[in-house]
Chain A
């Protein structure tokens, strides 16, 4: 399969160029006039953040990404509602929707997924997350102990897959039960949403080896990705499976390295982050509050292309990129990074073949 490129949709707000402050773009949040009294403002309260999210989703498709990743941010809009909202606005994008297995019944999630597949022609995919912080879990009404988090995901995905693919399905687990489950007629035979899972500890790798279609590394340095990917490959082989590798990473790409570094420093300063240049353009400390990646690739278009292509040689074939502001950067990356990157990866693959 050729490499897939997704763009991150920030559900809790976005920033602006040269201004790191988090904003609910497109939305008036106070009654204060936004323009000076000498200028009429026709907007009233007619728009909100959903109008902006819709624009980003259109941009992602027009800029020729393959998919959109909808972040599950407890401080933002709910990801499944956003997913439905933007799905109808796109023709070909894969809609990778992030959520936590604490959201409710696995059968109900599967049933909603089936409708998503029916309405999109099979473009829906799942990224299942865990909330490692116990207090944060309890805020979400989730009192499962840490020890139960992966077993719950295991059951959740197992039940969902089986009710989508079979009928007369029985399951009696610790978290979920079903009797004679499965979908009939047009709800049957729908595509199981590909399951993406993330995490770098042993338990996460082992869970992915058993369950995931794609294991996503969160902005790790290349050597770490090589190492963990090798381990995961081994675990998956033991389970008689194959797992694809994904990389979730932010990019700050500019025409020149100098501009990129300037913008990266300013962003770090404005958002109060001490950053150290870890190596070769990967700024480990540079993160945004809205996109959720653990690090940012900083450099010229050529540099960023080269670095991402290097990840591809380590076996990564799903890239979820993000940047602030999401709308403008979707076009920038789509126009200046993706074409060269696709070309480089494809020709490397052809040489290898």
Chain B
């Protein structure tokens, strides 16, 4: 079994380096405070391009560089993955669109038709990252009032219906959240590949849903032992249902020719943090929702921001990434060889797939595809490395 490697699509613009956020692609710029609207792609004037033109560049860079495709996240301030995927269907050739979405926001019968159409539009290149929401104010912002465990029950019902409709014939279902009566896909939409399901969520409720429906259980990077336990638990629970599940890790990497250069990126970014960012770090714990996964990540963080090295929790693992950009905290930092070794460590503890990312996503897709991926052995520990370069 070989390892699938995905890239990630930045749906929130992005700075051209982790060192500082001043130069920003897309129309999100932090030059004059958070979220100032600028026309055009490079800011300042309307150049006739949109953020989608940059996203298209990243998607093509990912497919050219050997990635399966990319995860397209979905947050209140980001451009939407269903839209991005349908717009870029014709503009890419092998790129697989991993759509992050919360099932609760879509009618499952409509979602089945959307997905089948997207499969037809892309030649079967759609797959899901099923997310179920982190609760708190953000959940209400989306218009979702369901409590944590109900949301996962709803996710399960949604996927029950999606699979039921996909099979063909007429499908009826009587759930707590959804009902359908004699639902069916149009004939010409039948027979498409069911989208592979990557599933995110660390709580018990999440595991219950994942073990029933997921092809891949997807986790952020966590301390390696903790991750091994989690993957083991997921695999046990799934096996108990007579199914098999694979595991995947979503992790940012900072890889350079030498380890020293890689840490220099981190140090520069850390030193350039402004007062607002430091303030946000302090407040972060207070704004937590009900996400178990997020608190598992937070649990590892130091209370004070003194030295970037305080955030090194494992050889080549830095847990301060959310300081330098939004999102999850732990990333792999090191030379090309070291990063590949850590990825192989993760394979040994149960990972079958990766979703990697690095800023800026365009140039880094080439770097990681050219320098790091050729060094990853995967399950084949006897593989001898080809000379790179």
Contact = CB atoms under 8 A, between A and B. Distances in A.
Given A81-B118, A112-B82, A119-B87, A141 B36 contact: no
A141 B179 contact: yes
Given A84-B83, A112-B83, A139 B182 contact: yes
A62 interface: no
Contacts of B186: 12, 74-77
Given A82-B117, A85-B90, A104-B105, A29 B188 contact: yes
Contact of B107 (A76, A87, A140, A181): A140
Nearest to B165: A141
B27 A139 contact: no
Interface stretch (A172-180, A237-245, A315-323): A172-180
Contact of B86 (A49, A76, A84, A100): A84
B35 A186 contact: yes
B140 interface: yes
Contacts, number: 178
A85 B89 contact: yes
B117 A77 contact: yes
Contact of A187 (B77, B85, B118): B77
Given A104-B105, A104-B106, A143 B120 contact: no
Given A103-B106, A140-B109, A112 B87 contact: no
Contact of A141 (B27, B35, B105, B108): B108
Contacts of B189: 77
A119 to B, nearest CB: 4
Given A27-B188, A80-B114, A119 B108 contact: no
Given A140-B109, A141-B108, A178-B143, A121 B50 contact: yes
B83 A184 contact: no
Given A118-B52, A139-B183, A140-B110, A54 B28 contact: no
A108 B106 CA distance: 8
Interface in B25-56: 26-28, 34-38, 50-52
Most buried by A among B50, B108, B145: B50
B18 interface: no
Interface in A2-54: 12-13, 24, 27, 29, 48-50, 54
Contacts of B90: 54, 85, 88-89
Given A89-B90, A180-B140, A81 B114 contact: yes
Interface string A136-163: 0011111100000000000000010000
B276 to A, nearest CB: 16
A118 B51 contact: yes
Contact of B188 (A13, A85, A115, A187): A13
A104 B110 contact: yes
A118 B83 CA distance: 10
B254 interface: no
A105 interface: yes
B114 A112 contact: no
B182 A50 contact: no
Contacts of A142: 107
A115 B99 CA distance: 15
B114 A78 contact: yes
Contact of B141 (A74, A115, A178): A178
A238 to B, nearest CB: 31
Given A29-B188, A121-B50, A103 B117 contact: no
Interface residues on B, range: 35 or more
A140 to B, nearest CB: 5
A102 B106 CA distance: 9
A189 interface: yes
A118 B107 contact: no
B121 interface: yes
A135 interface: yes
Contacts of B114: 78, 80-81
Interface string A90-109: 00000000001011111110
A228 B25 CA distance: 50
Contacts of B87: 84-85, 87-88, 119
B107 A104 contact: yes
Contacts of A185: 27-28, 34-37, 77
Contacts of A112: 80, 82-83
A116 interface: yes
A81 B84 contact: no
B37 A141 contact: no
A141 B107 contact: yes
A139 B181 contact: yes
Interface string B84-124: 11111111000000000000111111110110111011000
B76 A178 contact: no
Most buried by B among A24, A76, A135, A179: A179
Most buried by B among A13, A102, A108, A121: A108
B110 to A, nearest CB: 5
Interface string A106-141: 111001101110110100000000000001001111
13 contacts: A48-B120, A74-B186, A80-B82, A80-B114, A81-B118, A85-B89, A88-B88, A112-B80, A115-B83, A119-B51, A179-B140, A181-B143, A185-B35
Given A12-B188, A135-B182, 9 more contacts: A54-B90, A89-B90, A105-B143, A107-B143, A181-B141, A181-B143, A184-B77, A186-B26, A187-B79
